[in-house]
Amino acid sequence: MAEILIDSKKFKNNLDTIVSHIKDKNKLALVLKDNAYGHGLEQIAPLAYAYGIKSVFVKNEFEALKIANFFDHITILYGNLSPNAPKNIHITINSLKTLENLEKNQSVELKVNTGMNRNGISPKDLGLFIEKIQSKNLNLLGVFTHNGYGDVEKQDFQEAQKRFCLIKEEVRYLCQKLSIPYPRFHSLSSSGTLRSADIKDDLVRVGIGAFGYLTNTFLLPIANSLKPIASLWADKICEQSLKKGAKIGYGGKSILQEDAIISTYDIGYGDGLFRLNEKHSLCTSEGYPILPVISMDCFSCISTQEKVCVFDDASHIAKIFDTIPYEVLTSLSPFIKRSII
């Protein structure tokens, strides 16, 4: 049976690396959205809890409820929150519509747009939203933004941080005026965190970095200390002894150049493995050629091994398909078994 192995020592190494940079373990929050970037939410949550993580961010209430017993604060980034949800699950506010539907005493985090122009309220509406939060007897737990320029060496990154500093000043002023506690502030994701020498926020939100990847387009030496924690393994279904010229798979796209033993393995594009065709060249981590075209539930490989490692670093497949490791990892089916080692 195909399986994803999660290396707990490498996960700890990555968290240690990040903490050594930010110099305060209490500032480290993890982003576990989209099934912990494909690694398995219910597998990663206990590891994060054991490390001492207190705050996490997930996609929606469905994910939050799965790990509600592990963390002090779980913020959902999208969707609505049920009135009877556990008190440690909080909702992100991107619009007045979301705010209007909330019950009193719920904790919320207010997202502000600082230049990515995707989600978040306009900075000019801060007063309106914070006053509305107070009038509805809600708890303003956090105010945050997403600096979308952490991966690129452009002035836009610094400009977004300057805008967030001004937002923090205004929020503190409004909180004093309304006699409400200051919220926690956060703006940086993985690359933004690791490129910043002096972090003034209360939290950093680290996602893909915790799993061993960065997608920065400039030199960032600390990235070399991060280790991919997941490896994808497949079991042999059967093998065929074939002669030179034999055609393999749909449409006979692969034609053997010499006699070989071909085995099929139990994972395919239906499991989220990208569909390799005749335009791509890919080998397993051990170096066994994977033959196009990958099928829905299996692939063929020049190998006699009972088990092969399809990849132990998603960056290689991402490069072949001109994408990023995020897409490779989050595409992996939640039905694939995930095991901690």
Catalytic residues: 33, 250
Angle subtended by helix axes 41-51 and 8-22, to nearest 10: 50
Q: What is the dihedral of CA 238, 286, 338, 72, to 10 degrees?
A: -170
For 80, residues 6+ apart whose C-beta sits below 8 A from its C-beta are: 61, 91, 98, 101
Q: Assign 3-class secondary structure to 268-306.
A: CHHHCCCCCCCCCCEECCCCCEEECCCCCCCEEECCCCC
CB 144 within 8 A of CB 111: yes
Cβ 54 vs Cβ 48: under 8 Å: no
Distances (CA, A) of 119 to 58, 129, 246, 333: 16, 15, 53, 27
- Phi/psi-derived region of residue 260, left when phi > 0, alpha when psi is between -120 and 50, beta in every other case: beta
**DSSP element (H, E) containing 92:** strand 89-93
Q: Residue 219: which residues within 8 A CB-CB, separation 6 or more?
A: none
